Structure 1
Amino acid sequence: MTTALLPYEAETDVAELDSAPHNLDAEQAFLGALLYDNEMFHRVADWLKAEHFYDPVHGRIFETATDLIGRGSLADAVVLKTHFDRDDGLKDIGGTTYLAVLMEGAATGNAAVEYARIIYELALRRELIRIGHDLANAASADAEVHARDLIQGIEQKLFNLAEAGSTSRGFVSFKQALTESVASAAAAFERDGGLAGISSGLMELDRKLGGMHPSDLIILAGRPSMGKTSLATNIAFNVAKAYEHELQPDGSKKTTKGGVVGFFSLEMSAEQLATRLIADHTSIPGYMIRQGMIDATQYEEIRDGVLEIQSLPLFIDDTGGLPISALAARARRLKRTHGLDLIVVDYLQLITSTKAGSGSSRVEEVSEVTQNLKALAKELAVPVIALSQLSRQVENREDKKPQLSDLRESGSIEQDADVVLFVYREAYYKEREKPREDTPEYHAWEDEFRRIERVAEVVIGKQRHGPIGTAKLAFDGMLTKFTDLETRFDDPHE
C-alpha cells in the first residue's frame, strides 16, 4: 500500500483511508497514460473496468474516458473538463486542474500496462477480503445454514471472481454479437471437418450437429439397454483422447482440439466406467476383463493400454445422489483447477433437487435440475450432455422409435434442452421376436437380424440450431462401443 505523490494526497487524512489493498500512485500514473495516449485503452479493455479503481473519482474518470474512446472521440484533460465541471468528488481533490496533473505524471508504454495490472490485482484482493468477511459473518451468525451450503456459495463467488466477469456480462451490443457469430463461423471454416463445436469423435453425428457447442444442454435419452451410457462414455473418451492445447502468455492453457471432460457417473462406479474405457481402447470385451477371462497376451495389451490412456484429461465423479448445487460447485472447481470443455451427467433423474422432500412434484424437481444444468452450461461456456430415461409408453407402440413426448417429466427437459438425442437400436426389439429355430420363420428372422444387428440410430428429436434427423452408427455390443458405419467392426455374417 502506498500514498500518492500528487499534491492532493498530502491534504488527505490518512486515518480515513481504508486498510484494504490499494495503490493510488498506480491509478494516477495509469490514468495519466490513458489521457495522454488513448490507444492505451485497447491494451487493457478486455479486463480492466471502472469498478477496479479504489478511488471512486478515478473510476469515473476511467469510465468517462473509455466511453469517449469507444465512440471514436478524443479523451484528454481538455475534453474531460466539460464532463467533470460539476463533479463534487473531483472538486475535493483539486478540480479539473487535477486532470492536467494526471497527464503530467503519465506512465509510458509497458509501464502503464503494468500499473493497470496492479490496479486489477489489488481489486481482486479487495474482493477476496470482502468474500472472506461475508463468509465469517455467515458462518458465525446463521446457524440454520449448513456449512456445506456456505462452502458451495463461496466456491461460486470465488469462481466468478476468477473468471473476471466472463460469466455475467449483461447486455451485449448487436455489433459485438455479430462479431462473435462471425468468429464462430470462421473457426468452423478453418477447423478440420467444418465444426463450430467440439467433435464427438463420430463423423455422422458431427455432420448433423456441427459438433457440441459451448453453453448447450444436450439431452441423450433412451430405454434401458439401448446404449445411452455407452454412447456418452464413447463421446467423453473421444473428446479426452483428442485433447490438444496451447500455452497462453499468462501460463493458462487454451484448448485447440478435443477437451477436458468432467464425467458425473451417478449410477456406475468409477471402476466400472474405467473398465468400459479399457475395453473401448483395447477391443477386449469388458465382461472378460471383469471376470478375468483373459490370457497373458491380453493382459499385456490391457497393461499397455492403461499406460497409454492414464493421463487423459477425463475426470470421473461417481458420487451417488449428488445434489445439483454440489454438482455445479464441483464442475466450477474442476474448471478452475484443470480446465473444463465438456460435462457429462449420467443421468439427470439421479441428481438430487433442492425441492426433494418438500412436497413438490417430480416434474418440478426435474425442472429445477434441467434449468440448473442449462445455467451451468452457460456459466462455464461448455456443452453439458445429460442422460435421461424414457417412459415405458415406448414399449406399447408398434413403432418403437422414441419421440419427445416419451421423455420422462418431458415438459421441462424438452423446454430447457438445446439438443435432444435418442439412442435407438432396432436389433434390441428384433432379438426379442426370435422364433424357434425349427420353424420356417426362423431363417427370415435370422437374415433380418444379422442385417440390423450392429446398426444403431441416434435420432435428433430437437436441435435449436439446426434440423432434426437421424445419424446412423455402428454398435458393437461386446465392447459397448459406437463407431461410424464407415469404420464399423468386421462382421463375419456380411
Structure 2
Amino acid sequence: MNAYSREFQAPTEICNIEVEQSLLGTLFLANDALLHIKDYLLPEHFFEPMHRDVYEVISDMVRSGKVANPITVKTFLPETYKNLRIEGQPATVAAYLARIATAANPSSLITDAGLIRDMAKRRRLVSIAEEMLSSARNIEVDCDPNDLAEKAIVDLSDAMAGDDAIYGAVSFADALDDALEITNSAFSGRKTSGISYGFSPLEKLIGPLSPGQLIILGGATKQGKSALAGQLAMGAAEKGSPVWFYSGEMSPAELAMRESSRETKVSVSRQKRGKVVEADFERLVQFRTDHIHLPIFIQPKRLTVDAIVERAKLFVRKKGPGLIVIDHIGLVERGRGQKAMSEWEFGQEVTMNLKQLAREIECPVIGCAQLKKNTFAERGPLNEKFLDQIVARRPRYTDLIGAMERDADHVIIPFRPSVFLKEHEPPQHSDLHLKWESMVSDQERKAKIVLALSRESHWPRESDCGWDGATTTFYETGSENEPELVPAVDNPLGFF
C-alpha cells in the first residue's frame, strides 16, 4: 500500500512509507507503546504529512488518558488528504486509517522509530546540500563564497544537533542562550518577556504573564475575581495577544456588556434594562466599532478539563500563542472518574492539568477559583476593633479550596473590604453606626490586589487600587484612567 499517487515522485531513497505505517499501526494496537518513543520521535520526523498529523493526534489523546484508534483519531483529522491512495486506488481517511491498523509490528517499534528519525535527518542533509549547490551556482555579484560556506556549516551543525538531545531534554547551554535572548530582548525594548495586560497595580507585583505560567486568581463571592480576569483578558487582547476565554457562568453577551461598560460608563444593569439615552447607545456602538477585531474568543459551553485542554491546544495551533482564561475552576464539568471526587480533590485535578497545559502550549493560563466558604466568617463582638480588623485583613493562599496553590506560579487575590463591612451593619442611631457609615464610605471605591503566593517574587505583598462598582472595574488610583464618580441614575431620561 502507498500513500502517494503514481504521479508523485517520492524520494524513496530517503523515506519508507511502510515503516511509518507499521509504527502508527503498532500505536493503534497498543497506545502504551508511545511511552517508549514519544520523547525520541517527533511529528516532523515523518515524511508523509498525514502520518505527522496521525502521530500528533495519537500523542495528544494518550496524554489526555483517551483511547486512540482509527475511529477516535479520525475525528481530529481533516476530511480529505491530497493524493491519498491504497494500492493505487483513491482512499478515504477512514479506509486509510483502518489499513494502517493492519500494518502493526510491535516487535519492530524501536527500530522503526530510529529509522524514521534517521531518514528525516538524511532528508535535512540533502536539503542543505542542494541549497548550498544552488547558491554556489547562482551566486550574486556582491556575495562572498566564504559566507555561503559558513552558512552551510551552521545549517549542518543545527541539523546534527539533534543527537545531543537526550529523549527530549534541553541542554543547559541552550537554556542559558534562551534566557539571555529573552532578557536581551526585554532590555533593548524589542519585546517584553511575556504578555502585557495594561493593569499597573498587578504588573507592579508580578510583571507580565510569562509562557508556561499558571496564575490562580482567587476570590470570595462579589470580590471581583471574574471582573479582574476579564479586565486582564481585554488588556492582553488590546495589546495583540489572542485570548481563549472559558466562561462557565456568564454568556458571551454578558461578558461583552461588562467589558463595554468599563469604557462607555454604561453599566451592565442599564444595558440589560434598556435604561440608556441616545448618547449612551452611541457610545456602545462606537465601542463595538473600535473593538470588533479584538482576538478574544469565548467558550460559553461547560466542558471537562480534558476538553478544555484539547480546545486550548487547537486554539493555539490556529491563532498562535496567547492567553488562556478559565472562569472558573469550580464550573469545569466533571468527566468520567471525577464524579465521586470531593470539591478539593477535583480542584487539584483541574489545576494540575492546567499547569501541564500551560507548559505544553507555552502560554500563560489564568484559572479563577473560589475561596473557602468560611474564609471570612467573622467572630467576636461587633465593635470598632472588629470593624478595623475587617479592613486590615489580608487573604492568604491557604484560603483556596484544597491545595490548588501547589501547581500555581502566582496566587492573586483581589480584596474589597467594603463588601464585608456591609455584612456587619451595627444598630442604627448608635455611635458605632456612625463609625461604620464613615468606614463604608471610605472603602466603597477602594480595593487591594494581594500577591498571596509566588514562585518568582517576594510574597505576601499587596497593591492598592480603586474599584468602580457601576462598571466592575479595577483601576490605578491617581491615573488618567481613573473613572469619575458618577451617581447612579434610575431614570436617565430625567437629564432632559
Mark yes or no: TM-score above 0.5: yes
CA 1:395–1:422: 2 relative to 1, 3 Å: same
Is 1:401 the counterpart of 2:394 in the alignment?
yes
Give the Cα separation in 1 of the matches to 2:222 and 2:53.
52
The equivalent of 2:176 in structure 1 is: 178
- Cα drift, residue 363 of structure 1: 3.4
Match of 1:421 among 402, 412, 417: 412
- Cα drift, residue 439 of structure 1: 3.4
Match of 2:226 among 225, 229, 247: 229
Contact 1:427–1:449 under 8 Å retained in 2: yes
- Cα drift, residue 296 of structure 1: 1.1
The equivalent of 1:220 in structure 2 is: 217
The equivalent of 2:463 in structure 1 is: 471
Contact 1:204–1:472 under 8 Å retained in 2: yes
- Cα drift, residue 237 of structure 1: 0.8
Contact 2:425–2:433 under 8 Å retained in 1: yes
Is 1:376 the counterpart of 2:357 in the alignment?
yes
Letter in 2 for 1:459: V
Match of 2:243 among 238, 261, 273: 261
| 1:208-230, Cα deviation, whole Å (9 max, x unpaired) | 10211111010000000000000
User: C-alpha root-mean-square deviation of aligned residues, in Å?
Assistant: 3.7
Is 1:461 the counterpart of 2:442 in the alignment?
no
- Cα drift, residue 177 of structure 1: 0.7
Aligned-partner SS, 1:262: strand
TM-score for the superposition, normalised by structure 2: 0.64
Aligned-partner SS, 1:232: helix
Give the Cα separation in 1 of the matches to 2:316 and 2:15.
29
Contact 2:248–2:300 under 8 Å retained in 1: yes
Give the Cα separation in 2 of the matches to 1:293 and 1:122.
61
Is 1:484 the counterpart of 2:476 in the alignment?
yes
- Cα drift, residue 300 of structure 1: 1.1
Letter in 2 for 1:354: G
Letter in 2 for 1:261: V
Letter in 1 for 2:288: V
Give the Cα separation in 2 of the matches to 1:439 and 1:133.
68
Structure 1 unaligned blocks of 5 or more: 1-16, 29-52, 57-118, 139-143, 156-164, 244-258
- Cα drift, residue 120 of structure 1: 6.6
- Cα drift, residue 134 of structure 1: 7.7
Contact 2:248–2:301 under 8 Å retained in 1: yes
Give the Cα separation in 2 of the matches to 1:454 and 1:442.
20
CA 1:388–1:446: 2 relative to 1, 3 Å: same
| 1:286-330, Cα deviation, whole Å (9 max, x unpaired) | 11111100011111111111111111101000012x111111111
Give the Cα separation in 1 of the matches to 2:359 and 2:201.
26
Aligned-partner SS, 1:343: strand
- Cα drift, residue 55 of structure 1: 5.8
Structure 2 unaligned blocks of 5 or more: 18-42, 79-161, 379-388, 488-496
| 1:82-140, Cα deviation, whole Å (9 max, x unpaired) | xxxxxxxxxxxxxxxxxxxxxxxxxxxxxxxxxxxxx97972515247559989xx9xx
The equivalent of 1:127 in structure 2 is: 51
Aligned-partner SS, 1:301: helix
Give the Cα separation in 2 of the matches to 1:489 and 1:366.
36
Superposition map of 1:143-292 within 5 A: 150=73, 170-191=168-189, 195-243=192-240, 259-292=241-274
Letter in 2 for 1:418: D
Aligned-partner SS, 1:486: coil
CA 1:417–1:432: 2 relative to 1, 3 Å: same
Letter in 1 for 2:352: Q
Letter in 2 for 1:231: L
Letter in 2 for 1:223: A
CA 1:415–1:429: 2 relative to 1, 3 Å: same
The equivalent of 1:348 in structure 2 is: 329
Aligned-partner SS, 1:196: coil
The equivalent of 1:85 in structure 2 is: none
Contact 1:353–1:368 under 8 Å retained in 2: no
CA 1:231–1:120: 2 relative to 1, 3 Å: closer
More off after superposition, 327-336 vs 261-270: 327-336
CA 1:438–1:336: 2 relative to 1, 3 Å: same
Is 1:440 the counterpart of 2:431 in the alignment?
yes
Aligned-partner SS, 1:170: coil
Give the Cα separation in 2 of the matches to 1:360 and 1:121.
40
CA 1:479–1:464: 2 relative to 1, 3 Å: same
Letter in 2 for 1:217: L
Give the Cα separation in 2 of the matches to 1:132 and 1:404.
37
CA 1:150–1:371: 2 relative to 1, 3 Å: farther
More off after superposition, 280-289 vs 363-372: 363-372
Aligned-partner SS, 1:276: helix
Letter in 1 for 2:15: Y
Letter in 2 for 1:210: G
Is 1:54 the counterpart of 2:35 in the alignment?
no
- Cα drift, residue 472 of structure 1: 1.7
CA 1:474–1:347: 2 relative to 1, 3 Å: same
- Cα drift, residue 364 of structure 1: 3.2
Aligned-partner SS, 1:402: coil
Letter in 2 for 1:477: G
TM-score for the superposition, normalised by structure 1: 0.64
